[in-house]
Chain A
Amino acid sequence: MSADYAHLCSAIVEQCFGKVSQAVSDCLFSATTRTLSQIANATKFSRKEVGLALSVLIKFRLVCFEASKLNPFVPEYSLRRLDILCLLRYPRYIHMVQTKYGNVGASIAEELINAGSDTASAILIKCLSEGDTKADGAESYRNTFLQMITDHYIIKRPELILSEEQDEVMPKFESNECDYFRHPNIDLQLIEKIRRGEATFAEAGDSAMIWNINYDRFHQDFRDSIMIDSIERKLGENASECFRFILKIMYKTTDPWQRKLSNQITFVDIKQTIEKKSNNLDLMKHLDQYISLLTDDSLGFLRRVGDMGGGLYVVDMEHAFQSLAFACIESVITERFSSKAARIFRVIRFKKFIEQEDLQKEAMIPAKEAKSLAYNLFQEQFIHVKAIKKAGGGGNGLAKAFYLFQIKEKDSVRMLLDICYKSLYNTIERSNFEKNEHKGLIEKSQRLDSIVETMKERGESDEYIAEIVETFTPPEVEILNKVKHRIKTLSKAELTMDQTIFLLQMYQHHCTILPTGIGKYK
């Protein structure tokens, strides 16, 4: 957790929930847990305001609370720091649901995301009253909702236990793993009644069952697509299709977020699945060859561990994300320094430890250039130096020492992640700045649009409308377009940047023992 990440979180929370929530989240970010009065004291907001902000953050699952150990009647709040970044991934989540479940799914996901968490009936009512998607019917909405639960894209929050004793301040929750994805009863007729105003929400009877977007199920798909895409780039379409099936088989027996290795998969299993589900003849014919291609490749996604069942394989997540993280770091070095610098980086990576002299010989780069590139890389912490001192020297003259370049990829990844956080923060800052700078103009254009809209509705003459539109002068239009373009570029950069962050976070999950908070049930 770095200062850069703290800034980024603060900016994201401000953008999504406003100033008070930002102050609350900042206050919680720097502490493990705080009580309500501590937060109110620190932020100088009233208890009521802080309480409201906390409830919003809790609804969006960014804050969780627990009874204090000292005083069981006082709840202590803590921030789920790593989840804040997920707020920026919402467009990606919705896009993914759209490709999987079509527009119906997308509107469910959108409502769920906007609400943070809500009951099934409330979500469906909101979706249905959207209007333009009425043709699909309530039934298809319900079915898609249930399907999304089955596929784990939506998860239930722990249910509140209603106790008879009223004196308990802290609510208690029942969390039962097998209960997370149990289908709710959705009464479509009742929903229709509620929509017409003939019944109330209280009658729906599912107020205790609150649903959420299950971030990590989406992350699992993102991760798979990174791996599959990289195999396609390197080994071609058939190999990537083969790997997609292997992942599918893997999920049957392995927790998707198991850190290093998957459980074992047999060749027979892969073969049967592909014969059943795929109609790619070339893949079926050469399946054994594709598998050996995958195991022999330097990316190391798949590893053969035994001969049982025609061959026993494991998916090596650790090796896979190590290779991918290196590819990512190398790509940054190529762009930031030069391709020669990337060459130097790779030489060090292959040789593990190497001296300056050998480095330039191995990389075939003139001594001066190699030195300057290596020192630049060292200065920016992409590579590190290990000094091995020879004993002796004893005061007279310099003790002999060897300076060896090496790569500490965990440090480099963390450094790169911090740069990503900083850059992401910069895009948000810059886009806020652009919006503020041209606030008057943007507001004016919005006002104008709404005026024109109402005039059209009233059926005013076209000439009159054109006259009104002309009050927006051409230079103003030009500036506005420019600003719009800038904001668009920035938000596009935000999304692509997030892909790098995601990859590096996956590295941290699979190749280190750092706590990442990623799990099947969050």
Chain B
Amino acid sequence: MAAEVANLLLSVIQGIPAGATNDDLTKALSDVPAATRVEGLNILLQQGGIEILKKGEKLVYRAKDPEKKSALPKDADNEEKIVYGIVEEGVNKGIWIRDIRMKSNLNMTQLNKILKNLETKKLIKAVKSVNASKKKVYMLYNLEPDRSITGGAWYQDQDFEVEFVDVLNQQCLRFLQMKRENAEKKRDGPLALKQLSCCTVNDVHKFISDLGISKVTLDEDDLETILKTVVYDGNAERIMQQDGSYVYRAVNLPLPPTGLVQMPCGICPVIKNCSNCGDVTAIKCQYMKEWLE
């Protein structure tokens, strides 16, 4: 009897996506006594088919997404369900173990056991964050970790791939310079030269993909960050177009190496301490001696 009522209740609740109140249920199933209805609701709650939410003063019953539910095996106990639910909320950003403990109110040993249990069942996984190498975050097993966790294409495990970035930086610069040289060969006036030497991110992306130097696939956003580093190196300019997009173009530095750095004092690490007396003076200076040899 109660199971039939439960099925009826479920179909009613599923019919109202925002969630059914107690009044809705009494209206829909007016011939069922209140006690049986409560029994039915309890069955549904136990099965995890619905959840109870509080809306103002009233309780609201809402059907759960059946696909989500299926990941967790039927024999999971309550604690596991709760922990799983919390991890699920973290989506692909993951959730830190301390936050799980705060939310679930479980003690550390118990929580560790549950997490380990879920991990062996391949329901959740632990991912190391690039921002803090000690910090592990948990997320559902089938999810692809977010960029902010893995660091995107530039990270191999935890390590930032300096060489990879440097090579890409050089190649991008080479491409921009090539483009500029080609533009200089055509003599169509200065503005045409400028326009021809400009590249969009798409152009660069194509060039880098064709070059085949990257093992991982890079998207245009990745290359935009690389192109920005070329700009920050002072070798290129970022120009905004009328439609709000940016183009890049190789440029020369406006000044030759300045006079100051052509003598050792300009690059001296202890110039602050240099004076007429003491150990650092122009007469005793080792850098100066080597330079004048």
Interface residues of A (CB under 8 A from B): 7, 230-231, 233-236, 238-239, 285-286, 289-290, 292-293, 298-299, 323-324, 327-328, 330-332, 335-336, 339, 342-343, 346-347, 350, 357, 362-367, 369, 380, 416, 419-420, 422-423, 425-427, 429-430, 433, 485-486, 489-490, 493, 495-500, 503
Contacts and interface: CB of A to CB of B under 8 A. Distances in A.
Contacts of B237: 298
A335 to B, nearest CB: 4
A425 B191 CA distance: 47
B225 A289 contact: no
11 contacts: A233-B253, A289-B189, A339-B233, A343-B233, A346-B232, A357-B131, A362-B228, A430-B285, A485-B292, A497-B266, A500-B258
Nearest to B229: A364
B229 A363 contact: yes
A352 to B, nearest CB: 14
A-B residue pairs, 7 tightest by C-beta? A423-B265, A496-B259, A426-B282, A230-B254, A335-B261, A366-B160, A493-B263
A414 to B, nearest CB: 14
Given A290-B190, A493-B259, 18 more contacts: A234-B254, A238-B190, A286-B189, A330-B234, A346-B234, A350-B232, A362-B228, A364-B154, A366-B160, A366-B162, A380-B272, A419-B260, A419-B271, A423-B260, A485-B292, A489-B292, A496-B259, A503-B258
A462 to B, nearest CB: 36
Interface of B: 131, 154, 159-160, 162, 165, 169, 189-191, 194, 225-226, 228-229, 231-234, 237, 251-263, 265-267, 269, 271-272, 274, 276, 281-283, 285, 288, 291-292
A382 B266 CA distance: 14
A346 B257 CA distance: 17
A486 B283 CA distance: 13
A291 B274 CA distance: 47
Contacts, number: 147
A71 B193 CA distance: 70
A234 B263 contact: no
Chain A contact surface mostly: helix
A498 B292 CA distance: 19
B228 A497 contact: no
B142 to A, nearest CB: 28
A433 B282 contact: yes
B266 A419 contact: yes
A416 B265 CA distance: 11
A198 B229 CA distance: 76
Looking at B131, B190, B253, B266, the one whose CB has the most chain A CB atoms below 10 A away is B190
Contact of B258 (A233, A332, A347): A332
Nearest to B133: A367
Nearest to B168: A364
B274 A422 contact: yes
A380 B270 CA distance: 10
A350 B233 CA distance: 12
Contacts of B254: 230-231, 233-234, 299, 323-324, 327
A420 B271 CA distance: 10
B190 A500 contact: no
A423 B266 CA distance: 7
Contact of A331 (B159, B261, B272): B261
A289 B194 CA distance: 10
Contact of A335 (B165, B231, B266, B272): B266
A343 B232 contact: yes
A75 B171 CA distance: 69
A423 B263 contact: yes
B233 A239 contact: no
